[in-house]
Amino acid sequence: MTKAEKAANIHLILDDLYPTVPIPLDHTDPYTLLVAVLLSAQCTDVRVNQVTPHLWEVTDKPEEMMHVDVEEIRQIIRPCGLSPRKSKAIKELSRIITEEHSGVVPQDWDALEALPGVGHKTAAVVMSQAFGVPAFPVDTHIQRLAYRWGLSTGKNVENTEKDLKRLFPEESWNKLHLQVIFFGREYCPARGHKMLKCPICSVYGRKSLLRAEEKSLK
């Protein structure tokens, strides 16, 4: 079986398990999504969704957020971790969006990635989920699954993103990256994972990993 055939079969499994997928981070517009994605770095989506309503009580507009004291922002978002860095980024990106983009989150890769605290993965999430632009945001969780399934070497998220984009049709990227995330949470966790019982790993998993698990059970 070629890698392309394996990818196609995995895609069918994911479509069957997750015909529709909600966006995990609660938001009302591109700006609130951008801030939520920034907060999700090294934090769970559940925790972010618990914290952001308190932040929006202060304001959910960049032109107002730029005037909020950074310490007030930090106290609110502290449960998300990395609050000193994230609070400064939220305040500064709000200023840049207001002053340089007329208060509108730019629908542009370079402009997004130039914002404080916004890397390629964050920009990819916003481009795909807020603007519908084809993108395949890859984090360490998707990187792990792509390696387990033998779709990528797993050396880094950049290479994994390129590998997955080559294997899957562009029109599927925005939905597919969410399907992989939901599958990873339900069937393919980082710890305590049983490859032999996983709907995808048990059939299409990397042979060396499957042999290692089989050996450990003997």
Q: Which CATH architecture has domain 30-129?
A: Orthogonal Bundle (1.10)
Question: What would the pLDDT profile of 29-52 be if each residue is shown by its tens digit?
Answer: 999 999 999 999 999 999 999 999
Single out the catalytic residue among 61, 121, 165, 197. 121
pLDDT at 218 over 70: no
Single out the catalytic residue among 69, 86, 91, 139. 139
The yes-or-no answer on residue 16 being catalytic is no
Same CATH topology for 3-20+137-217 and 30-129? no
The yes-or-no answer on residue 215 being catalytic is no
Question: What would the pLDDT profile of 72-113 be if each residue is shown by its tens digit?
Answer: 999 999 999 999 999 999 999 999 999 999 999 999 999 999
Question: What would the pLDDT profile of 131-166 be if each residue is shown by its tens digit?
Answer: 999 999 999 889 999 999 999 987 899 999 999 999
Phi-psi group of 93: left, alpha or beta (phi > 0 → left; psi -120 to 50 → alpha; rest → beta): alpha
pLDDT at 190 over 90: no
**Which residue ranges make up each domain of the chain?**
3-20+137-217, 30-129
Report pTM.
Answer: 0.91
Q: Name the average pLDDT for the chain.
A: 95
**Angle at alpha carbon of residue 173, lines to 107 and 203, rounded to 5°:** 160
Class in CATH terms, 3-20+137-217: mainly alpha
